Structure formats: C-alpha cells, structure tokens
Amino acid sequence: MSANSLIVLLSSAAITNFSKNAKKQEKEITLAIKAASDLLEGVMQDDAMVPVLKDHVGINLLKYASDIALSDAKGDTVQVATDIIHCIGERQLSEENYGGVVSTFADPKMYSNFLHIAFAILSKEELSEEGPREDATCDFTVHGMHILMMRLTQVLFWEGIACSSPGPAPTQGKADYFYAMRLAFSKGLMRAIISHGPSSTPTVEESEKEGGEMTAEEELELMLSPPFPRLAWPA
C-alpha cells in the first residue's frame, strides 16, 4: 500500500507536470517518500527478517518505488526508467514463497501509473532532442521499451480502447491521451534502437532480477511481432 500510494502520487505529478497545486503535490510526495524510507529502514534493521523478505514482492516494490521517487527528485531519469522496468517486467518469483510463478512486482492495476511516469520521461526526452537522428538517445533500453509497449497493450484493452475490449467506449480525451502515449512509446523504441542497438537482450543485472535472459529466437519474435492490437481511435 505504501509503494502504491507513492507511485500514484508520482504518476499524478507526471500527468500534471506539477502545473496544478505544485506545492501540495511536492509536500505529499515528500511525506510519502519519508514513510516508505522509514518502513524500509525498519525492515532492513531486523537481521532475521532480511533473508526472509529479500524475495518478498511488497518489499521489492517498495524499494523500487522509493528509488524511483528519489531518482526523479535528483533528475536521474535513466535510473527511474530502470526501476520502472524492474517493477512491471515479468520474473519468476521464489519457489519457496510464491511457488515459482511468473509475475511482476507491481500489481496489474498499477501498470497505468507506471506508464504515466514513463510517458512523461519519453515526452520530455523527445522535446529536448537536438541534432541528427543518429545521435538520438533514450533512457529506456530496447528491452525496456518492449516491456512498456506490452504493458500498454494490456492497459489499452482494460481501458476499452482496443477494438475487442468489453465495456463502455472510452472518452475522446482518454483515447487521445493513450494515442499520444502509444506514439511516444513508438518513437522511444526508435531512439532506443538507435542509441542502444537493435538487441533487446537485458543486461546481466536485468537478467538476474527478471529471472533469466531471453533467447535470440524470442527476441527476434518479439521484435517482428505487432506491438499493438488493432485500435479503435475516435474519428
């Protein structure tokens, strides 16, 4: 709950870009960071609990959420990007505590909040881009962009924006917002390929955290497959 509250505040700030109630948002985030830090410190001071909780989903989510907030405050968007992917990327959870199931640290209900933060990073990155295209940079790796785009595909369906989605049709504003997000992610993937190379194989550190490195065949299939279902954008 503490991690989710912090991410919701950061997501809200990312959407509004602190344009409304800036001081209030900043104060709320500061208090949430302190609460998360105090909770983590209390857990980590108990030597008996550390080995027990090292693979705990909630503790890991709280750790990454706190790091996202602190890195964002320092302007370290590369670290923010890395932590976002650790939260929403699938991994095999511990056999002892979770039966070895494949899941994410973040609850699926929180995916959209992480996507809002990523959208803000990529939008700012695109606006500040200067010089020839071959010099483009991206805070997310190609692997990270694939994760973002897969999560966005899920959220589009849940929000009723994909053609086959159940439930009421989305509002014009919501559809436009997610269309802009999709476009920003597509451009981000292009910059990531230019900046990091076409391989989306995660680094050794990412592989350890996410439960194993993808094979070349899996990477190629992911690169060539359509990243999104057919979408029903309002005319």
pTM: 0.77
Q: 59: closest CA among 8, 115, 3?
A: 3
pLDDT attached to residue 147: 94
Residues in the chain: 235
Region of 153 on the Ramachandran plot (φ > 0 left; ψ -120 to 50 alpha; else beta)? alpha
Write out pLDDT tens, residues 139-180. 999 999 999 999 999 998 888 887 665 666 778 888 899 999
- Helix (H) or strand (E) holding 52, with range, is helix 50-53
Task: Name the 3-class secondary structure at 219.
Answer: helix
